[in-house]
Structures are given as structure tokens and as C-alpha cells.
Structure 1
């Protein structure tokens, strides 16, 4: 007999929630100066001279062209990643595509609609292209980097990397500005929720199993992902709640007005489902819910993965 999820992970990866209770999970209240904090960070990121540069062209899945790309982000950090362009050169829209806490080794153009010019940054300290001295590259350490103060917490820098990636893409491929979108999963889904409210260049977004939603609740739920590091750190440093309040993806989602597709999971050992649904529930703009059976469990269901990608591509094109 196959082991139960509780036997496999040592805890219930659904945390006792069913769909009805997940759809009722709220967002925490924002600190009084939440908007001011994020608008100031956004304005400083938009003032950065990103100076994008591309490398040699290589083939990528789906017949697209891929180029290594670098650009400068807030704090003077040089961020690496990839730029993909349609094989026929016809660009109808653009997309910033981020990644999970495992980083990224290359682009996957099947994630975005046809005729999309996409930039695939490795956010600061992560992936194959954005390792930096002084920034940890493993999720358990990265998620705690600078957490003692809101001005130094690494997730603020990661949000800036998203805004600067958008600027770099639009400088390299002006046609991408016809319709700029965002795609992010797990870590990238949570960072996207933090970044999207302040940047009206984005016309639509797709967030899959988004992390960092409802930190006060997350810190009560065991998991196998980066949240476990935060939960354990909080046990000896309870004062971090005042910092995390500024980096709550569900709180930020209450400010997102762009149409947003959210794919949370009913069961997920790495990112507690209540936090994922809190991001969806908090959205105040047009939204579409695509419920997944499970997240962060390998091997993934190929049919569910294909249906998700098709749903996201349709949404990013149609809304």
C-alpha cells in the first residue's frame, strides 16, 4: 500500500483545508506605510540605468531564438538571464518570466503565448546566471537574507529585479510594450504579487502556486519549502513579523488591478495551500482561478500540467 501524504512528509500537506475553507483565507492588514514603502522602491528601480546587453543566439524549444542577457538592477547588481524571440520575428506582446526557488538553468518558451518576446531573469543570488558574492544561492538561506530590516530584505531586491527586467525587455524589444505580461511560479509567483501592484506597464499576469501569502498563517504551518526556514527563524526571532508584513504576497495582492490568473494547489508540501489561496482571494481586479490537485510533487501529472499551461497562455492572450 502506498504511503499517505502525512506518512510521506510527516505532516498533512493540505493542512486540513478543503476548497471551501481555502477560498475564505484572508490577507493580513497592511502596515500604514505599506504603499509608500513599495512606491519609493519602485521609483528608485525605474530610475536605474539598466544597460541591457545580449550574447550569442542559440536555438530554444518551440522554434524560438534565445540570447543570454544581462542588465543592471537596484543596488548596482548585474542580473543575468535569457531573452527569447519568436522565430519569425513577429512580436505581439512581451513577458517577464521568473522562476521558483530552485532557480533556472534556461528558458522554456512553451510557458508563454506564441509571438511573445520574453525575458527570463535569474533573480538576484539565484539560478545559473545571477550568483553574487554575499548572496546565498540556496533557498533556505536566501529567504532569510537581510530579514532583520525591511530595507535590506532580499525579497525587496528581487521585486526590483522584476521591474528592471521589464525595463530591459522594453529597451531591447520595444514591440513587447504593446502588451506586457508576467508569469511566475512558487517563489516567482510570490515575488510577482509583490511587484505587480506598483507597475502599470503590466497588462496581465499568471501566478502559479504563489508563495509568501499570509505570513502570519504560514508561520504556523510546517512545510518542506523556504517557508520552513522562516517559520523556524521566527521561533527565535519573533520580531521579524514587522518586516514580513511588508513582504506579504496576499497583502500586496489587494493592490493588484491587472487581470491575474492564479493556479493554487489543494495539496502542497512546499508552499502551504492556505497561503497560495490567500493571494487569489485578495485580488481586487479581474481574476481567474485554476485549481490544481497538487503542487511541488514530482512527477507532476502531465495532463494537469498541459491544461495549466494552455489555460495560462489563453488568459495572457485574451484578457
Structure 2
């Protein structure tokens, strides 16, 4: 049964928890991103016949973490000329890049659009994926992605994913039809968490649009929801009782709350008050710590993890029209 799953909205708006941030957070990420850029090669944009007469479509391969190939789609409105603003999209948990015709909305609104595949994902029954994760960790983990390499930040799964996401912005900025000063990042759920990571790691973004973001305020999430995927962490720690401190130390490097404090681009979040997957307090923790003064959050009081769904898009376009011109 749907119900409010967290605190009243008035308390959520004021929720500014202490952050659990490793002392070498910035050094860790600067080194990780620099290493990826040093071994990277130029992105490949290969024309792809998607049977779409109003959209130019390209099959993209770019260098992600450790130079490893990551797939994507690049779509651009066929009727527009010159350099365009570009929206980079990150995908929800378990999903892959899918098929080009599943990503027409941003192009229809007049933007170039790069969709990043998520390594190792894309087999959950909806969007198909095409990017392997060649760095599997042989340590025990709960089925899923949340606990792969959990006890060491160097080997944690989301180190690779977040680095891929930074490099996706680099790839978009390389394309001659993209205005590199007008790049926007967005995504829902896991995609929203990835969006926040990129917002804290990449300079000069034009806007940041995280919807019902996952991967935020991990400890509280494990304490107040029994929904997946956060339950993967609970299951792992229930079993590996001695790994609790090491696990949360690792998660400190990947917490959207910590990335939010470094994010300065204009932003529009969304949150749903009946969302048990990404509880509202975890979303507000990131939003309230988000460093930009130009920020807003859309509250969907009677929705679950679907959030605003299609209702959020017009609000996002309104923000982009204002900040991009």
C-alpha cells in the first residue's frame, strides 16, 4: 500500500545531515579521472541507421575507466544546424542504453543527446546493454552491483561507473556539433546518483537534472528501507558482520551528498514522498547540501519511485530555456 515513507515535508526541507567524507576524497577522484583521461582515445561516432527520418543517430564508443570501451547513443535533430546544447543521460539501475528510438524526447526538444550505457548492466528486462565490465572483483558479493568490491574504494564497482560518466561528458564535448559550454547531465534513480557524481567532478556544466536520485546518504537508506537495491547492502552486511566499517568508509567516496557539496551548476531535483526505493530524506540530504544557489526541487507528494515521470520533463526544459537561452 502506498504511504508516506519518511519524515514530513517540513522536516525534510531542513534536513542537513553531517557528511561522512574521507579525508582524501578529492585526491582519490582527481587521480582516478586523470588516469582515465591519460589512457583514453578519441570517441568514435559511427552513423547508425535507426530508421528515424527526423534524427541523426550515431553508435558511440568512448574510453571510460582505465581506457575501457563504453558504448552509447548520440542523437541529434536532423533539421538543426550549428553547435547545439547537449544533454547527457545516465540510466536507472539494471538498465542499458537500449535502442535509439527509445531516446527521442531530448532530440525532439532541440538538443543533442548522448545516452551512456552502464557497464555490466542492461539485462533486467527493459533497456538492453552492450558494455561489459572487464574488472569483476572475485570477492564475495550480494547479487546485483551495490556490493561489488565494496570493502575497497579502488575496486568498488561505482568507481568505474562514475569515471565512465565523466568521460561521457568529455566525449560529448568532443563532438563538433556540441557546444562544450552547454552540456547538461541528467538521469533518474541510479542515473540521478550518477548525475550528482558528475556534477561534483566536472567543471563548467550548464545544468544538472537528477530525478529521484539513488546512491545518496547510504547509511540512512539502509536503516529506513527494506526495498532493493539498498537492501543489497543490508544483505551483505548482515552476512559479512565484520565489514561494516570498511563498507561505509568505501561508500563515503561514492555518496551523492559529498558530490553535491562540490556541485555549482544550476539544478532541478525531483523527489517523491512515497518512494521506498530512494527515501525522501536521502534525496533531501543531497539537495540541501548541493552548493549552487540556483537550485530547486520538485516534490511529488503521492508518487513512489516513478516520481514525476513524464510530468518532470517540462519543468526540466523550462530550466534549460532559462539557463541556456
TM-aligned CA deviation for residue 64 of structure 1: 2.2
Matched residues in 1 for 2:86 and 2:213: separation?
Answer: 21
TM-aligned CA deviation for residue 74 of structure 1: 1.7
TM-aligned CA deviation for residue 279 of structure 1: 1.3
Alignment correspondent of 2:125: none
Contact 1:181 1:202 in 2 (8 A): yes
Matched residues in 2 for 1:20 and 1:58: separation?
Answer: 50
What residue ranges of structure 1 are gaps of 5+ in the alignment? Answer: 6-11
Matched residues in 1 for 2:207 and 2:272: separation?
Answer: 21
Describe the shift of the 1:48–1:39 C-alpha distance in structure 2 as closer, same or farther (beyond 3 A).
Answer: same
Residue 16 of structure 2 is aligned to residue 26 of structure 1: yes
Contact 1:113 1:314 in 2 (8 A): no
**Paired residues, what number?**
303
Alignment correspondent of 1:92: 84
Alignment correspondent of 1:81: 72
TM-aligned CA deviation for residue 44 of structure 1: 2.3
Describe the shift of the 1:177–1:113 C-alpha distance in structure 2 as closer, same or farther (beyond 3 A).
Answer: farther
Residue 95 of structure 2 is aligned to residue 103 of structure 1: yes
TM-aligned CA deviation for residue 152 of structure 1: 0.9
For 1:149-160, list aligned pairs within 5 A: 149-160=152-163
Q: Which has the higher mean CA deviation after the structures are superposed, 274-283 or 169-178? A: 169-178
TM-aligned CA deviation for residue 140 of structure 1: 4.6
Aligned mate of 1:295, from 298, 304, 319: 304
- State the TM-score, normalizing by the size of structure 1: 0.86
TM-aligned CA deviation for residue 48 of structure 1: 3.6
1:69 match: secondary structure: strand
Aligned mate of 1:211, from 200, 205, 214: 214
TM-aligned CA deviation for residue 61 of structure 1: 7.4
TM-aligned CA deviation for residue 228 of structure 1: 0.9
Deviations 1:148-171 (A, max 9, x none): 101111111111111111121222
Describe the shift of the 1:164–1:79 C-alpha distance in structure 2 as closer, same or farther (beyond 3 A).
Answer: same
Describe the shift of the 1:89–1:202 C-alpha distance in structure 2 as closer, same or farther (beyond 3 A).
Answer: same
Alignment correspondent of 2:111: 116
Matched residues in 2 for 1:98 and 1:200: separation?
Answer: 18
Aligned mate of 1:222, from 225, 241, 245: 225
Contact 2:71 2:130 in 1 (8 A): yes
Alignment correspondent of 1:9: none
TM-aligned CA deviation for residue 201 of structure 1: 3.3
For 1:40-59, list aligned pairs within 5 A: 40-59=31-50
Matched residues in 1 for 2:177 and 2:67: separation?
Answer: 24
Deviations 1:259-310 (A, max 9, x none): 111011111122222111211111110211111232325xx7xxx4333100
Matched residues in 1 for 2:274 and 2:53: separation?
Answer: 31
Alignment correspondent of 1:131: 132
* RMSD over aligned Cα atoms: 2.5
Matched residues in 2 for 1:113 and 1:35: separation?
Answer: 38
TM-aligned CA deviation for residue 31 of structure 1: 2.1
- State the TM-score, normalizing by the size of structure 2: 0.85
Alignment correspondent of 1:187: 190
1:229 match: secondary structure: helix
